[in-house]
Structure 1
Amino acid sequence: MGKKVAGFTLAGAVAISSLGLAAKKEDVQAKDRKKEPTNVIMMVMDGTSAGATTLSRWYKGENLAIDEMVAGGVRTHSAESAITDSAPAATALATGNKSNDKFVGVLPAVVNSPGVKPVSAKDAHKPVANVLEGAKQQGKATGIISTSEIQHATPAGFSAHVTHRSNYGDIAEQQVYQNIDVVLGGGKESLSPGTTKNARKDGEDLLTVLQKNKYDIVENRNDLLNSKSNKIWGSFAPSALAYDFDRETTKPSEPTLADMTGKAIHTLDKDKDGFFLFVEGSKVDWAAHANDSVGMISDVLAFDAAVEKAVDFAKKDGNTMVIAVSDHGNSGITMGNQNTNATYPETPVSAYIDPLKKAKMTVEGALSQLKSDKSNLKEVAALYGLDNLTSEEEATLNSSKNLASDMVKMLANRANIGFTTGGHTGEDVFLYSYGPSRPIGLLENTDIAKKMAQFMGFDLNQLTKKLYVNGKDALEKKGYTTRIDVTDPNNVVLIAEKGKQKVQFPANKNIMIQSSNQQKTVNTINVYNGKDFYISESALKLVK
């Protein structure tokens, strides 16, 4: 587990009062623990600071499901910065390795954060195995869920290896060829060729691949909940799903995060070897970037409902570890701003919450109802809780060049909510956990991955050595001449030849092609990082 720290920072300090109880619960659960299989449900509420969960609790008017799971805190810094991006944060949580900005599932090129081990130049960008891949190698069922595009940085960290988080084409292809049992979220755009920004550039229709692999492809809530398949791919939007507060009005056919979590658990639990499930509540982060306090509350509560589904299952199962954590803070949100400098001792909860309760939609949802001529601007403002506009507020909105920005500022002012930034923040975040062997204390984010791997019975470093071998080096030791064919940059292939024998490894796929064009499936994906090409030990053994 991680280092024990005498002086807890924010998350650890607040959590410490519950740690004694946590340890007692863990001991009881360990005694009652059944034999195999083990399950892990890893849940991330992206970009959620303690201020957002506090505000959401007051808004709800009762405890959150995560409150009973408080177990400590998590340090979130990357290999190069005190403030991390989602890509290296996900890499740390999934692989146990700190990384760099925009890197997904690969080692860093720059290490300057204190306490992070240096990485040799030859290993920079090398793919490192994640806990989902480890679970697969153990024979477990696997799943990933996200309310953003499923190719977004955080779900990608648990399912792919690329040097830039925007490489949706490679990420989507890797996810499909990872043969994950249940994949639910947005990002349908990246599965097929087309003319839109994230449509496929390699000419491959991944929906056809999914059909050949016998997935039930579903696109709405009803079809998801009624699916009887053991393999489900849910693409519910071209890009991201709607905010929870907006769904009923803008996207009523989309499932909630709790819907997706419950269905995934039910499906994956059929596997006799157990399962690993990753769940992300993505859009708290997006709302935080926009300083939209209503959007943050919307999707913190949606995430919390999903956690409740997971913990309910874990309580009945007895052998399931549930972890919930934020990957980093965002926005510096506070209850209290310049308005309350002199009045905070007597300012009641209602002064913060009542103005927010007036909002029926997030700012994104409200503005989706705006007419092109802006003739219903006052009605749209009211949807966001901005009723009874003052003449000054009305004038500001009528002349606004950025309505979303001005509307969130107005509501924050009314609700006495403060923001320090529109970007990420570097504070520790809360750790929530439940079940046998659950992590507790103040940990590095990398310790979370190691704890999950240990519980499922594998070592991530050893797994990396088996799954990601430098293909050129290894094949040349077998007497082959090799080259990385980048003629088509969207379809890179490692080619190895010896006499009449020819073997090809297409990037991002779990296949190899021999001289006779005979195609064989291998145990993991082939990865090209722009410099080196990696294949698995088991793939090498198939090359004579």
Structure 2
Amino acid sequence: MDVRKSLVSTLVTLAISSSVSAGVVPENQKNTWFQSANSEITEKLQQTYQKRAKNVILFVGDGMGISTLTAARILEGQLSGNPGEEHQLSFETFPYSALVKTYNVDAQTPDSAGTMTAMMSGVKSDAGVIGVGEKVQRGDCSTMDNNELVSIVDLAEIKGLSTGVVTTARITHATPAATYAKSVERNWEDISDMPDDAIAGGCKDIADQLVNYQSNLETRFPGLNVDGIEVLFGGGRRHFLPKDAAFNSLDASSEKEGDRTDGRDLTSEWQNIYKDGTYVYEQTGFDAIDTESSSHVLGLFNESHMQYAADRTNDIAGEPSLSQMTGKAINILDNNDKGYFLMVEAGRIDHAHHAGNAAGALTDTIELSEAVQQAIKQTNPAETLIMVTADHSHVFTIAGYPKRGNPILGKVVSIGSDTPTLANDDLPYTTLGYSNGLGFRDLGTETNADVSYDSPAIAGRVDLNAVNTESSGFHQEATVPLGSETHSGEDVALYASGPGAQLAQGNIEQNVIYHIIENALDLVGKE
């Protein structure tokens, strides 16, 4: 009886305490900030989750660090006519998130090969290697034996799921390559990139591995019967074509588009393997793809990387956006009742940062957000796990004390002022900057960030009084002069929604992402 009285007394006390606490908060405190946060918590308290997913879509913003997310969020908000700081990118509304440690086994500041290998294989590995373990020696073909890893794409194929790889970079570049290839050197994109001893040792270039992915997997696991990767969209045609002008595509930008020195046309080889498949290289061909009847599609939309999002209209024959490729990939992959795994990379965020062009990097980040929104529209949240993350960050900063709503690409204007704040050298400075790299460029309305490489690095301060820092061709100042801006080593974010998303919590190693995906799809048959 005493126990019951004590319990009742405690409950009454808690009820009174709760009531009193509710009344303590004054009405003037319950403004829009307060109510918005309260609604967010209430919504999260009502969420439930499922353990398994039918489909998984992994979005990777290459080089999309925390500062990039923040700046892109503000820019998108400002482009909509708002101050910007309160805005959210599409995936920032996801219910689960985590911080991800990006270092490689041998590198404090990582590269895309080692980081994507971690996400695809479940183990960390070295910088510069793809789909292989840390015991290999980079560039040494003889160390490949017994060090090849099994990827999420491999497991999904084995289970009978459909698979897809979409990227705005070359499809043989490090991040997309880590979904399907095994290589001790990320730069072996075609045979012309390989040393003679590697060729003699039996190592295959990455483009070759992509085209022969199905047979390679079946050879590795005798008795296996898979149907190969259904959707492949990206750039990098040069690695699939012979170094012969006769094989140039209609939108070739070089005298000889192809790089291959073995005379092989891998686009034709792919079409011979997938006789019902569709190969396209420009917008018109892409638009004509029948998503209901297509069994396999290969789209190589540029000789090298695809265009920056802001530069897409300058493409010779036209190319689809990341959002369009994502939507079409989903429509093809969801024809499989067993489900699918799709990796989508916004590869050119990284390239714009390397060139020191914040406008380009942020525009491509916004494009990634739109692609995620497209995926949300086309999928059932009860059966599709969507994850958004980055492979690494960049030395990209948001600094000074600009007032709220100040143009994120602009010069710092402090609270209470209408004119740019001056530094100790009596010169204005921008909110965004880089710790190292090529430094200042004033290229006006130029949308191709890579033009930055045409001139030597300019380190330190420049008089920006007469410069429009909000133009697409402005490249921010840098402290340390380098031939290219570098990656950075801090954690990146992971956002998740759908079945299995609840595992994206806390501070995790990058290879844990593989295990979240594997668990959601139950690829190794735990159930």
* Structure 1 and Structure 2 fold alike (TM over 0.5): yes
Residues 168, 110 of structure 1: alpha-carbon distance in 2 compared, 3 angstrom cutoff:
closer
Q: Is the 8 A contact 1:323 1:434 kept in 2?
A: yes
Task: Determine the C-alpha separation between the residues in 2 that align with 1:404 and 1:254.
Answer: 31
For residues 220-254 of structure 1, what are the alpha-carbon distances to aligned partners after superposition, in whole Å with 9 as ceiling and x for unaligned? Answer: 22321321122110010111111001112345611
Percent identity over paired residues: 28
Question: What is the alpha-carbon root mean square deviation over aligned residues?
Answer: 3.5
Contact 1:37 1:272 in 2 (8 A): no
Inter-CA distance 280–351: structure 2 relative to 1 (3 Å threshold): closer
Write out aligned runs for 1:31-70 (5 A): 38-61=54-77, 62-69=87-94
Cα distance in 1, alignment partners of residues 43 and 148 from structure 2: 35
C-alpha deviation, 1:382, in angstroms: 2.6
2:411 matches 1:349: no
**Which residue in 2 is equivalent to 1:224?**
286
Name the SS of the counterpart of 2:496 in structure 1: strand
User: Could you tell me which residue of structure 1 aligns to residue 202 of structure 2?
Assistant: none
The one-letter code of the counterpart of 1:350 is N
Q: Which residue of 2 aligns with 1:105?
A: 131
2:107 partner SS: coil
1:203 and 2:259 aligned: no
2:454 & 2:369 partners in 1: Cα distance? 31
> Which of the numbers 167, 180, 183 marks the counterpart of 2:188?
167
Q: Match for residue 488 of structure 2?
A: 425
CA distance in 1: counterparts of 2:356 and 2:234, whole angstroms: 24
Quick one: distance in 1 between partners of 2:39 and 2:495? 11
On the 8 A contact 1:109/1:124 being kept in 2, the answer is no
Where does residue 175 of structure 2 map in the other structure?
154
1-structure distance, mates of 2:184, 2:143: 15
Q: Deviations over 1:270-315 (max 9, x none)?
A: 011111111100011111111111111111011111111122233x
What are the within-5 Å matches in structure 2 for residues 169-188 of structure 1? 169=190, 170-178=205-213, 179-188=228-237
User: Using a 3 Å threshold, how does the CA distance of structure 1 residues 42 and 404 change in structure 2: closer, same or farther?
Assistant: farther
Distance of 2:150 and 2:39 partners within structure 1? 33
| Structure 1 residue 403: Cα displacement | 4.1
Deviation, 1:381, is: 3.0
Which amino acid is 2:187 matched to?
Answer: S
Match of 2:362, SS state, is: helix
Question: Contact between 2:64 and 2:393, CA under 8 Å: does it hold in 1?
Answer: yes
Amino acid at match of 2:102: T
2:398 matched residue in structure 1: 335
AA at the equivalent of 1:148: A
* Contact 2:144/2:184 (8 A) holds in 1: no
Please say if residues 115 and 510 of structure 2, whose CA atoms lie closer than 8 Å, have aligned partners that are also in contact.
yes
Equivalence for 2:31 = none
Q: CA deviation at 1:318?
A: 2.0
Alpha-carbon distance change, 123 to 231 in structure 1, aligned in 2, over 3 angstroms: closer
Counterpart AA for 1:424:
H
Check the 8 A contact 1:333/1:417 in 2, yes or no: no
Query: TM-score, normalised to structure 1's length?
Result: 0.65
Question: Residue 322 of structure 1 is aligned with which of 383, 386, 389?
Answer: 386
How many aligned positions are there? Answer: 388
**How do 1:426-445 and structure 2 match up within 5 A?**
426-438=489-501, 439-441=503-505, 442-445=507-510
Contact 2:241–2:259 (CA under 8 A) maintained in structure 1: yes
- Give deviations 1:350-407, integer Å, cap 9, x for gaps: 2533579xxxxxxxxxxxxxxxxxxxxx9x833149xxxxxxxxxxx9xx99548559
Give the alignment partner of residue 381 of structure 1, picking from 435, 443, 449. 443
Preserved contact between residue 58 and residue 388 of structure 2 (Cα < 8 Å):
yes
Tell me the amino acid that sits aligned with residue 72 of structure 1.
A
Unaligned runs of 5+ in 2: 1-37, 78-86, 191-204, 214-227, 245-255, 413-440
Which residue among 24, 28, 44 is the counterpart of 2:48? 28
Q: How far apart are the structure 1 equivalents of 2:119 and 2:305?
A: 22
Which residue does the alignment assign to 1:129? Answer: 150
SS of equivalent to 1:303: helix
Secondary structure at 1:83 match in 2:
coil
- 1:276 equivalent to 2:276? Answer no
Residue deviations 1:488-528 (CA, integer Å, cap 9, x gap): xxxxxxxxxxxxxxxxxxxxxxxxxxxxxxxxxxxxxxxxx
**In 1: Cα distance, 2:43 partner to 2:386 partner:** 14
Q: Structure 1 residues 82 and 197 mapped into 2: Cα distance closer, same or farther (>3 Å)? A: farther
**2: CA distance between counterparts of 1:173 and 1:298?**
33
Partner of 1:479: none
8 Å contact from structure 2 (residues 53, 499) kept in 1? no
User: Who is 1:145 aligned against?
Assistant: 166
Deviation, 1:46, is 0.4
Q: Is the partner of 1:430 in helix, strand or coil?
A: strand
Q: CA deviation at 1:335?
A: 1.9
Letter of the structure 2 residue corresponding to residue 335 of structure 1: I
CA shift for structure 1 position 327? 0.4
Structure with more of its chain in helix, by fraction? 1
Relative to 1, partners in 2 of residues 1:108 and 1:60: Cα closer, same or farther, differing over 3 Å? same
Superimposed CA distance per residue, residues 122-158 of structure 1 (whole angstroms, 9 cap, x where no aligned partner): 8887110000110000001111011110000000011
Deviations 1:422-481 (A, max 9, x none): 111110111111101113212111000011112222249x9xxxxxxxxxxxxxxxxxxx
- 1:240 maps to which residue? 305
- The code of the aligned residue for 2:333 comes to L
CA distance in 1 between counterparts of 2:459 and 2:368 reads 25
Which 5+ residue runs of structure 1 have no aligned equivalent? 1-16, 112-120, 357-377, 386-396, 463-544
TM-score, normalised with respect to structure 2: 0.67
Counterpart of 1:352 in 2: which secondary structure?
Answer: coil
Q: Is the 8 A contact 1:19 1:72 kept in 2?
A: no
8 Å contact kept, 1:160–1:171: yes
Q: Would the aligned equivalents of 1:333 and 1:419 in 2 still touch at CA under 8 Å?
A: no
Secondary structure (helix, strand or coil) at the match of 1:353 reads: coil
Aligned-partner SS, 2:408: helix
CA distance in 2, matches of 1:89, 1:37: 24
Task: After superposition, give the CA deviation of every residue in 1:183-224 in whole Å (9 maximum; x if it has no partner).
Answer: 001011111221669722333321122212122001122321
Structure 2 CA distance for partners of 1:197 and 1:128, relative to 1, 3 Å = farther
Mapped contact 2:504–2:516 kept (Cα < 8 A): no
Classify the secondary structure of the residue corresponding to 1:321.
Answer: strand
- Matched with 1:312 is 377
Distance 1:18 1:96, change over 3 A: farther
Task: Tell me the distance in 1 between the aligned counterparts of 2:163 and 2:261.
Answer: 27
